[in-house]
Structure 1
Amino acid sequence: MGRVFDAIKRASAADQGGEQKRHQPDLERHGESPSVPGLPSARQIEEQLPSRSSFLSVSHETAQNSASSAHTADIPGGLALPGGKASRDAGATLGAAGAARVDGFATYDISPARVEPHLVAVSQPRSPYCEQFRSLRTKLLQAGERKQMRAFVITSAGVGEGKTLTALNLAWLLAQTDGVRALVIDSDLRQPCATEYLGIDAPIGLSEVLGGAVRPEEAIVRLDPAGLYLLPGGKARDDVAELLSGPSYARILTDVRRMFDYIIIDAPPLGIFTDANVLMNRADGALLVVRSGKTRYALIDRLLEQIPREKLLGVVLNRVDEQFDETAYYYQRHYYNRDRGLTEAKTKQLPGERQEEVALVN
């Protein structure tokens, strides 16, 4: 049986009475962001953010078959990784970053001190957690070379599963690749929160572009030092399905394809809204983000059937408790500690913090 989908089965809250799962305490956060009535705010969603993630590479055979028959599919492997604990309020510094203009775009200097702590490409670039996103970046670059894939949708089974942070981490690392111009489009217009996680105040975005108030190039901002470009979500609204399925969004995507090498689209949750299906039809590839201990295995099964076989690149599994491989364990304990200037054979553990490991499935 494929070890990766075994991990999903064990880690997910399965319908058929699974194992007891360990859950970490919720992260204490404060403040609220604008939201659409009836939906949780970005701050409430962040309270449930995963502490760890795993990238599961899914073959075409896996996409063609359902997750329930994944034991017959070819699944190359997966990764489990740690994440840092949120120790500050990312929203407290909104507007703190000043914007200059470079090449006609408003430019923000992104600081590790201002971003959401789980944005590890900025806050913890040497961590094993960030290394997992580099592995994911490599997969996307390879897909771009082999299959001419350039626009990718990042969606999730539900809210609070880490898709926006996955999109931002991945895009930040893509932008650091030599010769690559990368753009993130915050298309989750019911709850746009990319700017909040980045610690910037960019109120004009996709919502205003779709409404005809501004052109795309007037809303796109540049994020330094990575040189990543972002089309923020702008004002939250509830007519998202109509906007994203209309011709205006298609024209925007056509325009930005001419301007950028890679486009990462932060889409609404596939398990709740139909918008993600519309966006996947217009993109070249898709990644599904799920959370262990929360996403039901039957739902993963159903969502994998919705994603076109030729577009599914993989599944990102968040909040993994599995410890798989001694080699990766040694990598964390030795090399990561060496980078941080530690000489001890064991990572120092903060009071009240559970020690986490990194593991690799081959």
Structure 2
Amino acid sequence: MKRTLIAHENPRSPISEQYRTIRTNLDFASVDSKLHTMTVTSAGPSEGKSLTTANLAIVFAQQGKRVLLVDGDLRKPTVHYTFRLDNVSGLSNYVAGHGDTVREIAQPTQVDGLDIVTSGPIPPNPSELLGSARMEAFIDEAKQKYDLVIFDSPPVLAVTDSQVLTSQTDGALLVVRNKKTEKEAANRSKELLEQAKAKVLGIVLNDVPQKESGYYAYYGNR
């Protein structure tokens, strides 16, 4: 199934405008402290997290930022499918200590200013790798080369990977799907992120009927 990068393919569409609205709200949410790294997660699978992450990365790049989108899901990666890239070498190679640099594993995209680091080969110990000193080194190196580094991470209720990752970034965005994600699951996800000392930047509710409030709604963390 084709995964539509609508913010790139149809930037004037109502949905693309909603992504830009989320971008603006994130800019305001980080007005007191620079948002240099961000994790995007969801409560469970099939919430639209990865497609939301990809289109957000695109609209930030369209703003003129140098953006790196990193597939931090070392269990069921999808970013390479979305952008039609190979996944021979990526994040897992770097954090496993194979001597790779961010510049060597980052791949350019058809979007000006947006590079991708895919997941790389699926490792047997994702949580340990994401919480390692090599992961800290990856983030530090990426911050030197890019204005914004966005991590697409696994669902927070499924595995501990997202908690590990969000604790190392400047903020977390939680994606939930209208009429699918239970309120209890969304609240529990937010609690887990906060327990990991993550700054919850807000919640994106997708699949909202257009007549109600567009396709996407953003709720800031108050």
TM-score, length basis structure 2 = 0.88
1:321 aligns to what?
Answer: 209
Paired with 1:359 and 1:121, the residues of 2 have a C-alpha distance of: 13
What residue identity is the alignment partner of 2:85?
I
Paired with 2:87 and 2:102, the residues of 1 have a C-alpha distance of: 13
Task: Give the superposition deviation at 1:273.
Answer: 0.8
Task: Give the superposition deviation at 1:303.
Answer: 1.5
Equivalent residue pairs, number: 216
* Structure 1 residue 311 corresponds to structure 2 residue 199: yes
Task: Give the superposition deviation at 1:293.
Answer: 2.6
Give a deviation string over 1:125-145, Cα, whole Å, max 9, x none: 111011111011112233444
Task: Give the superposition deviation at 1:360.
Answer: 7.9
Larger Rg: 1
The alpha-carbon distance between structure 1 residues 146 and 206, as it changes in their structure 2 partners (threshold 3 A), is same
Give a deviation string over 1:231-250, Cα, whole Å, max 9, x none: 11111233101111111111
Paired with 1:252 and 1:361, the residues of 2 have a C-alpha distance of: 29
Asked if the contact 1:144–1:150 (Cα under 8 Å) also holds between the matched residues in 2, the reply is no
1:96 aligns to what?
Answer: none
Paired with 1:249 and 1:287, the residues of 2 have a C-alpha distance of: 20
Asked if the contact 1:157–1:270 (Cα under 8 Å) also holds between the matched residues in 2, the reply is yes
Task: Give the superposition deviation at 1:277.
Answer: 0.8
- After TM superposition, list the pairs within 5 Å mapping 1:108-123 onto structure 2: 116-117=3-4, 119-123=5-9
What residue identity is the alignment partner of 2:71?
D
Secondary structure, in 3 states, of the residue corresponding to 2:155? coil
* Structure 1 residue 212 corresponds to structure 2 residue 100: no
- After TM superposition, list the pairs within 5 Å mapping 1:199-348 onto structure 2: 199-213=84-98, 214-308=100-194, 311-321=199-209, 323-324=211-212
What residue identity is the alignment partner of 2:206?
N
Asked if the contact 1:324–1:360 (Cα under 8 Å) also holds between the matched residues in 2, the reply is no
TM-score, length basis structure 1 = 0.56
Give a deviation string over 1:314-361, Cα, whole Å, max 9, x none: 111122237336xxxxxxxxxxxxxxxxxxxxxxxxxxxxxxx66989
Identify unmatched segments of 5+ residues in structure 1.
1-88, 91-115, 326-356
Secondary structure, in 3 states, of the residue corresponding to 1:229? strand
Paired with 1:147 and 1:231, the residues of 2 have a C-alpha distance of: 25
1:132 aligns to what?
Answer: 18
Paired with 2:118 and 2:78, the residues of 1 have a C-alpha distance of: 8
- After TM superposition, list the pairs within 5 Å mapping 1:178-197 onto structure 2: 178=64, 180-197=65-82
CA RMSD of aligned residues (A): 2.3
Secondary structure, in 3 states, of the residue corresponding to 1:324? helix
Paired with 1:360 and 1:288, the residues of 2 have a C-alpha distance of: 12
Identify unmatched segments of 5+ residues in structure 2.
none
Secondary structure, in 3 states, of the residue corresponding to 1:130? helix
Match of 2:55 among 163, 169, 185: 169
What residue identity is the alignment partner of 1:231?
V
Paired with 2:178 and 2:11, the residues of 1 have a C-alpha distance of: 24
What residue identity is the alignment partner of 2:209?
D
Task: Give the superposition deviation at 1:307.
Answer: 2.5
The alpha-carbon distance between structure 1 residues 238 and 159, as it changes in their structure 2 partners (threshold 3 A), is farther
Asked if the contact 2:202–2:218 (Cα under 8 Å) also holds between the matched residues in 1, the reply is no
Paired with 2:36 and 2:136, the residues of 1 have a C-alpha distance of: 15
